[in-house]
Structure 1
């Protein structure tokens, strides 16, 4: 989040996947102090104060002048300003109206107003019409509020099909779930769903000290690349996600028993559908690869199966269902 247009070379840079620890430029800290804004934990506000990390984000983003970037959690506008300087257009979302003045200070032009290539959306991104964004986003770069990181990404990968790369800061535990391989303890419905749309390009641990207030949890800078998406996932995302959610509904059960408990088909019918998809009935949900869920979804669709209603209605804002089990 650059406060002065260009971002200088970091004084120190650790190679590989080590912790990012650089000398912060105090202009970001000063702006936070001058604003008098008290971060709201209920909104997951942990502002990035180390401007040098912006250079890392921009390098991972590999944006072009014609790119359109979506940012969630504009905050004090530091990352937003850096994105505006390199992108053709930026859609910046911010839910907290008390940050508007700070955003205008960070982003305002000498003649007044906001940059012409910026659209500031003062709304909850989870309730926004993402499909209606114009121009269409091609990249996403965000310091995602912890409370919405998982549901936003689960929504964005199917509602923003034109986004080819995500460079996002998220809670470490969320990062692990987003990219977990099948068979691991952290592999869940969110993992399977995200891996149907993206592949991990880079994961970089971040020091807690680059945020204010200092969070109680660790963070990771993730770079996710969009991959080719199966036509069924593109055409019926809610259905495929419903299959995944139902299978993970009871982790201690086999996928057949878990889905039978969700309703719609008997164990015998599910076993038959699984056989056609090449799935063994004795496996648990965490043992199935993402592509196997797509194969199962095809068979269940042919048999008229209907995904159950979401069991956690407070999280999803669309028909997708729960972002994770």
Structure 2
């Protein structure tokens, strides 16, 4: 009888060890779970160095444990989550008695966040990148997240294309985003169709805005990105006096016709402060 293992909005069904269409059951599992294992020792070292040492680390998608064991060399405790039951059992056996590693067989997205300072480090499945990033942003005790993601995703979130995403701008007062390095597709097995990157998200020790103003800031950013007026300046002029909007744009060193995606998060903060004095 087949067993199903929940994986976000996908499922991993482990059936008999047949070979359909030239693929083994393990091949099908890797495809379903977006399993692309990081095998390059140099790339593993770069991820660990980018993450830095921590007392407690949670690792989503531990896989075969290459990164897990490397993290254990710099961090006091690593809790490795692996949804694939076969891989989880293998990793548990390999690390048993090693000290500092706890293997959890289950979905990281269903895990409760620790109520102590912790970091997240992982070579995460591409298919649930948004879910894992959202989990990290919502964890109040998280200090940082160092994630191997698709290169395009990391570039989009860190302004590397010269544009800034709504998610980055909304969260900027509480989190910084940084592209910490690129990893070629040849560093993985199976080899994915795209290159990857190391994305760093750091929770600011002191937010750039006090808590009572964060909700107003987020609403302000969402309104600006909606583009109701056809441009950011025109949209803001629909809500605020034109002279105040023009003065705010001047203070933020923004041209009147600047497209919303090209407004740096720090410029958004200037606009918000000037228009909400």
TM-score normalised by L of structure 2 = 0.69
> Structure 2 vs 1, CA of residues 191 and 250 (structure 1 numbering), >3 Å: closer, same or farther?
same
Distance, in Å, in 2 between the alignment partners of 1:168 and 1:68 is 16
Structure 1 residue runs of 5 or longer lacking an equivalent are 1-34, 260-266, 303-325
Q: 1:1-325 counterparts in 2 under 5 A?
A: 36=26, 38-64=28-54, 67-109=55-97, 115=99, 118=102, 120=104, 122-125=106-109, 127-130=110-113, 133-137=114-118, 139-157=119-137, 159-163=139-143, 165-180=144-159, 186-193=163-170, 195-196=172-173, 197-200=175-178, 203-227=180-204, 228-232=206-210, 234=211, 239-250=216-227, 253-255=230-232, 268-271=238-241, 275=245, 278-279=248-249, 283-294=258-269
> Structure 2 vs 1, CA of residues 45 and 295 (structure 1 numbering), >3 Å: closer, same or farther?
same
Cα offset for 1:215? 0.5
> Structure 2 vs 1, CA of residues 291 and 94 (structure 1 numbering), >3 Å: closer, same or farther?
same
SS in 2 for 1:209: helix
1:299-318 Cα shifts (integer Å, max 9, x gaps): 8889xxxxxxxxxxxxxxxx
1:221-264 Cα shifts (integer Å, max 9, x gaps): 234555452133x55655544433342234992126668xxxxx
Aligned residues: 246
Distance, in Å, in 2 between the alignment partners of 1:168 and 1:109 is 27
More strand per residue: 1 or 2?
2
Distance, in Å, in 2 between the alignment partners of 1:236 and 1:105 is 49
Query: What do you get for the CA RMSD once the two structures are aligned?
Result: 3.7
Structure 2 residue runs of 5 or longer lacking an equivalent are 1-24, 251-255
| 1:248–1:285 Cα contact (<8 Å) kept | yes
